[in-house]
Amino acid sequence: MRLTMDVITWYLEQTSPSDLRPAKPPEIGLDIVRAEVPSPEFNRFLYTAVGGDWQWTERLPWTWRQWADHLDQGVETWVAYHRGTPAGYVELVPQEDAAVEIAYFGLLPWAIGRGAGGRLLEAGTARAWDLADRRPDREPTRRVWLHTCSLDGPAALANYQARGFRVYDTRTGVPGDRDEGVTPGPWPGAGPRGRA
């Protein structure tokens, strides 16, 4: 299937921990914890459960080994739970030049609209800033960055900006071909957005 609409991609950054702005308390209680044991199965579950309705397809063909190799590069996965159930996650990828990319961030469909996104993004960004505290081999973080696009949730860009991220680049283009037969997520449309 070929998508023919233009997609806008925004690149955002923070260059100081003081850029981070707190979120309002969520409507639901959240425990945000690091998944300290790298688990390709768990990360793939989070990727598909969160990205199913947002066209996250890039990693769907990855093998177990590709997931494991990715996680072994010092990737941190921070998961928000509500009463023991995953509500969303943040994936932090350490990079060169003391930068940390928020490579993936999002909520499971049931948690959207409950204020969890702001709190999870605040916590995940704070963990990007203090990553060197957990990794003595790294110098302190000097930049946290991410990108989002017009295919992502309608509140995504506003949430990033509300947490203090600034747009430093914008690009418009047509996405490449999607793999035929690759369906995003375990059950696209199964969440509250897909119910009649």
Question: Strand, coil or helix: what is 167?
Answer: strand
Q: How far is residue 89's CA from residue 105's CA, in Å, rounded to a whole number?
A: 6
Question: Tell me, what's the pLDDT at 55?
Answer: 81
- End-to-end Cα distance, the chain: 25
- The arithmetic mean of pLDDT across residues 139-165, rounded, is 93
- The arithmetic mean of pLDDT across residues 44-65, rounded, is 90
Do the domain assignments include residue 1? no
Do the domain assignments include residue 192? no
The whole domain housing 119 covers: 7-176
Find the CATH number of the domain harbouring 74: 3.40.630.30
Do the domain assignments include residue 145? yes
Question: Tell me, what's the pLDDT at 176?
Answer: 53
Tokens of 130: 């203090």
**pTM of the predicted model, to two decimals?**
0.87
Do the domain assignments include residue 186? no
Domain count, the chain: 1
Do the domain assignments include residue 187? no
pLDDT, tens digit (0-9, with 9 covering 90-100), for 56-70: 889 998 999 999 999
Lowest mean pLDDT of 67-76, 133-142, 164-173, 174-183, name the range: 174-183
Do the domain assignments include residue 188? no
Do the domain assignments include residue 33? yes
Do the domain assignments include residue 181? no
Q: Where are the alpha helices (DSSP H) in 3-152?
A: 40-51, 64-71, 116-129, 131-134
Lowest mean pLDDT of 90-94, 119-123, 161-165, 185-189, name the range: 185-189
